[in-house]
Amino acid sequence: AEDESDDSEDGEDDACGSTLPQANAGGDGTLKVEQSTTLDGSSSTGSSLTYAWSISSGSGSLTNQTTSSPTFTAPSLAGSSVVSLTVTDCNNNTSTDTTTLYYVASSANSQAADKEFVLVNDDSTVSETVQNSQVTLTVTYQGNSFKVRFSEAISENYNVLMTSEGTFVICLPQASDTQGVCYISSSSASSLSGTYDLDAALVSDFVRISGAQSGDRLGEYMGVNSDEDEIYLVAPGSGANGEARIYDLNANLIGIILGKDGLSICSVLFSNYLEVNAESVSLGPCNIAQNEGLAQINAAESSLSLMKGVLEETSLTAFVSSSSLDDGDGTFDLNDDDADAELNCTARSTAFGDVNGDGNDDYLICGTSLAYVFFGPYDDADSCDDADMVISSTISDDGFCSSVSLGDVTEDGVDDIVIGGTDKLYIIFGSTSPAASIVIETSPSAMTIEASDVGVDVQIVDSIIYSSNGRIYSLQTLQEEEADAGANSLSAAGCQLDISKNNRIINPAYLLLLLSSMPLVAVLRKRKEILSKVRVLRKPSRS
């Protein structure tokens, strides 16, 4: 009898195997309060596993706790919960893993700004005043202040860029009969002073760069590489297919990228989407919202009209690595020089950010009715059909995807997607376990904010959402910032501030989607260490 017992035990060991179980509770996630989501422990490994789920901290409720896929329902108040999964195999060996679920309020309040800021970063700001058709920009950098002035008559829009080292750039794409004009400071903004009048024939302390031809709109889009030693000025109306000019910080032309038939260069964005740990530039659609810029509230209607006009013009995006650009003779012609990759998917607006929390940039293409996410690094995607995530809405909205911005509005360490519409903002929460398909109105991990003209242009600075209607929407951590809230409102009078990525990770105890009502100085003090080094402003035509 004793031998039979040993044989039986040996048989159980053989059936279970010698490998210990490994629990996998799935990635962290974010959902709205009082919404339910299905957890997934099916990636746990081991023989004949049993499952036991529990809430180890925070609130909420679980059903079907002994299955691999229980349902978690968030409570009515914003906060976070840690959910534990313990798996047990047939040898009674156990393993435990946890997942953190953040839940946010499903609505937001907003308020207009008390000052018209158009650019903010950790050591500089730009604010605008308009009087008698004269635009005056007050620029501060590391405590130093100067002004730039021009009349609305010489350009219907302007773009501004400030590098972290103090190189200041302003472009007037419609100047001189839409032959763009750009000015690059010849010394650091820390030493500039007085008022610089761009209506004058000569502007001291700046190098003037003119477009090559009438209608080239030089400076319609601006960008700077991650090393901040190359400034890209795009002239979408130059030649047959546009061009991107590359300048060093001394305003010397060091390279040109020429478009080709089917790929007219209008925008440039920088990311590590093409290769891990290597920068590449994407050349593609005329994003009216510009993604890296801001828009004024009085330009909202004209911006939407322009967006509709160029909607179908560009469907192809080209990706060129920095090494490929460096290998040439200074001119990179897409007709002759092959891009490192091309992706054919019609876009209204595009952006890069890490929406699945793996440390790589993902590429978001936002179209007329659908948005597509391609997880980085690039993996031979050719068209929209190759997208890793498809986002849709049940609402008919002609302005859907008129703008888009990526940033960590939920402060869970993963970039979220904010899509601008005609009278709505559509927010899709990032996740380390993203769904392949999301319908915004039915997903527990998506929400909408409704307001007039809210989505014509939208940008994110840290966790704060700025919209072209001059309103601010923010996810606050009560422990960090509720005590600082005061009567003064933080706003930008119709301006949006951009951040392409926010890598700070916060595990808040409680979260609440509410109006950011602290003064600007308090916000900058709180968030100074994580504001993007470079901000770019785009101010479209005034209506």
Say if residue 3 is exposed, middle or buried (CB neighbours under 10 Å; 0-12, 13-18, 19+). exposed
Least confident of 280-289, 330-339, 342-351: 280-289
Q: Token digits for 470?
A: 């001059």
Residue 110: the pLDDT is 62
Under the banding of pLDDT at 50, 70 and 90, the label for residue 194 is very high
> Over the stretch 86-110, which tens digit does the pLDDT of each residue have?
999 999 999 999 999 988 877 665 6
User: Is residue 222 situated within a structural domain?
Assistant: no
Please indicate, yes or no, if residue 519 is contained in any of the structural domains: no
Residue 62 lies in a domain: yes
Q: What angle do CA 251, 530, 456 make, to 5 degrees?
A: 75
Residue written as token pair 């040996």 = 10
**Higher-scoring residue by pLDDT: 543, 433:** 433
| % of the chain with per-residue pLDDT over 90 | 42
The reply to whether 451 falls in a domain is no
| Phi–psi pair at 274, nearest 5 degrees | -70, -45
Q: Is residue 21 part of a domain?
A: yes
pLDDT value, residue 79: 86
* φ and ψ at residue 396, rounded to 5 degrees: -80, 115
* Residues of the domain holding 7: 2-104
Say which residue, 454 or 508, is predicted with more confidence. 454
Decide if 24 contacts 43 (C-beta within 8 A). yes
What is the CATH classification number for the domain harbouring 82? 2.60.40.10
Whether 378 is covered by a domain: the verdict is no
29 in any annotated domain:
yes
pLDDT, greater one: 171 or 534 = 171
In a domain, 28, yes or no: yes
- Mean pLDDT estimate for the chain: 78
pTM beyond cutoff 0.85:
no
Number of domains in the chain: 1
Q: For residue 402, what pLDDT is reported?
A: 82
* pLDDT score recorded for residue 483: 31
- What's the pLDDT tens digit per position in 44-99? 999 999 999 999 999 999 999 999 999 999 998 888 899 999 999 999 999 999 99
Closest by alpha carbon to 426, among 408, 452, 400, 444? 400
- Phi/psi of residue 471, each to 5°? -105, 160
Confidence of residue 323 (pLDDT cuts 50, 70, 90): confident
